[in-house]
Structure 1
Amino acid sequence: MMRGVTDDGGYLLDNRQAEAGERFDALAALFNASTFRHVEALGIGPGRRCWEVGAGGPSVPSWLAARVGPAGHVLATDIDVSWMTAGAGYTVRRHDVGTDPAPDTGFDLVHARLVLVHVPQRAKALATMVSALRPGGWLLIEEADPALQPLACPDEHGPAQRLANKLKHDFRALMAGRGVDLAYGRTLPRLLREAGLTEVGADASFPLSGPACTTLEEATVRQIRGRLLDAGLATREEIDEHLANLAAGKLDVATSPMVSAWGRRP
């Protein structure tokens, strides 16, 4: 789940907004295949215990529940659990990983995607997730790194693309001003080693274009529209023009690289 912390304790990308469901679906289409590939490579299978941190929507916990089967257990937590359904093969619990202690221990897998970069207490949150692992258990953290690739349209060949990149710069300014670490993804291998994990590795997924990229951009811009206007970073005309360009299929919109890093508790 991708969220941006605001100065009033809320989130730029609030799960209570209607666009949240569109964003969850787009993120699933873009990144679930990579997430599932990593989980499979870590040997998570029938009978395993998993904690999905900041689950947001149901797609990842549902897949994990099917993978571990009835002999396993999946706990899905978030500060807002309204998009998940109890009784869907996994346990749902409200939990703030930045402030609350681990909800349980002895997990074979703890996974978080697009969570820590937005948590002000991210060092504490990471330590909490490590503490929840059993010896030999795996931590898999996936975070976008907007500073690695800051453009909405890397192929900036015209005014529509320049506008898209201007608005992406404005969005990044909002996030940075509210404590979001825009370069956190690249630090994950080092942080996992410093947390005492072994067998640390990392790679990145970087969608450059496609319908899910466009859907994600549209939903995100609609969600932050008011924040951009209130901050004086963009005009209504700029936002409306960008949304019209997206709807007309004029843009190849990229995502930030998604860094996946994993490590094992000795």
Structure 2
Amino acid sequence: MGQGDGYLLDNRQTEAGTRFDALSELFDASTFRHFEALGIEEGWRCWEVGAGGPGVPAWLAARVGPRGRVLATDIDVSWTGAAAGAGAEVRRHDVAVDPPPPGPFDLVHARLVLVHVEDRDAALRSMVQALRPGGTLLIEDADPALQPLICPDEYGPEQRLANRLRNGFRELLRQRGADLAYGRRLPRLLRQAGLEDVRADAYFPVTSPACDALEAATVQQVRGRLVAAGLATDEEIDRHLAHVAAGRLDLATSPMISAWGRRPAPRP
């Protein structure tokens, strides 16, 4: 994932590891299902953009084998390094600023990256440029505006507090340039980038221990900013974290939109 001045959830904070673990538990199965459907096989060359944790690049490296290549990049590779031991190459890279790495690649994948990137158009162009003719781009990004509640079943004061704090968190994201309706635009953006056979689907858990872990780590990361912006008090945050720890909330994630398309091969 990106970081920089506009990125609210800094990879260098201690809670980042907990967030990566929770995101992996929540979304890896869906991501790997898409990889399987795309027919990934031994020998493929893959670029994992904004890798964050090591889980996805390690899975790719196991699938493509020694004849393949997996490049995992991020602005901050603090949590990605373990993927190197699993056979992936790890490199610091800013997808919106730096030229694409040497390819071409059979598969380029990014999850929860572009929604936070300031120059999303440049990042998308870079990923498309790195594809071989016939190669596939798979982008997975959240659409918080599509389902804005962290407690869809808002039946009491604890749930209302959770949703109010989530609104505050999303306001912080908006202030830093995040596009909270980006996920729904992905099919159109992939077509406009020249990709063919574009398809998409959506997935989001509605309650899970991993949702609780993700929420607790996220709130801890941003609590100082929430308080400083007048969006919550320390007492409200402590009360909400106690509700989460007690397992008294059915917490949902934002819908994850997965969109994929293929770079056209030259016409005979």
TM tier, smaller: over 0.9
| 2:249 alignment counterpart | 251
- Residue-by-residue CA offset, 1:165-198 (whole Å, 9 max, x unaligned): 0000000111111110000000000000000000
| 2:40 alignment counterpart | 44
3-state SS in 1 of match to 2:257: strand
Identity of aligned residues (%): 73
| 1:242 alignment counterpart | 240
- Residue-by-residue CA offset, 1:214-255 (whole Å, 9 max, x unaligned): 000000000000110111111011100000000111100000
| 1:57 alignment counterpart | 53
Deviates more, 1:79-88 or 1:54-63: 79-88
| 2:259 alignment counterpart | 261
Q: Distance in 1 between matches of 2:214 and 2:142?
A: 14
Q: Distance in 2 between matches of 1:248 and 1:4?
A: 31
TM-score (normalised: structure 2): 0.96
Whether contact under 8 Å (2:62, 2:86) holds in the other structure is: no
3-state SS in 2 of match to 1:25: helix
State the 4+ residue runs in structure 1 displaced beyond 4 angstroms: none
Whether contact under 8 Å (2:7, 2:176) holds in the other structure is: no
Query: How much has 1:87 moved relative to structure 2?
Result: 3.6
Q: Distance in 1 between matches of 2:131 and 2:40?
A: 13
Q: Distance in 1 between matches of 2:198 and 2:46?
A: 19
1:225 to 223, 226, 236: 223
**One-letter amino acid of the structure 1 residue matched with residue 119 of structure 2:** Q
**One-letter amino acid of the structure 1 residue matched with residue 196 of structure 2:** T
- Residue-by-residue CA offset, 1:23-72 (whole Å, 9 max, x unaligned): 00000000000000101111111000000000000000000000101110
1:118 to 116, 131, 144: 116
Q: Which runs of 5+ in 1 are unaligned?
A: none
Whether contact under 8 Å (1:76, 1:92) holds in the other structure is: yes
Q: Distance in 1 between matches of 2:79 and 2:163?
A: 31
**One-letter amino acid of the structure 2 residue matched with residue 71 of structure 1:** R
Tell me if 1:17 matches 2:13: yes
Q: Distance in 1 between matches of 2:23 and 2:242?
A: 22
Tell me if 1:75 matches 2:71: yes
Whether contact under 8 Å (1:12, 1:227) holds in the other structure is: no
Q: Distance in 1 between matches of 2:214 and 2:34?
A: 23
3-state SS in 1 of match to 2:176: coil
Tell me if 1:155 matches 2:156: no
Q: Which runs of 5+ in 2 are unaligned?
A: none
Whether contact under 8 Å (1:76, 1:93) holds in the other structure is: yes
Tell me if 1:93 matches 2:112: no
TM-score (normalised: structure 1): 0.97
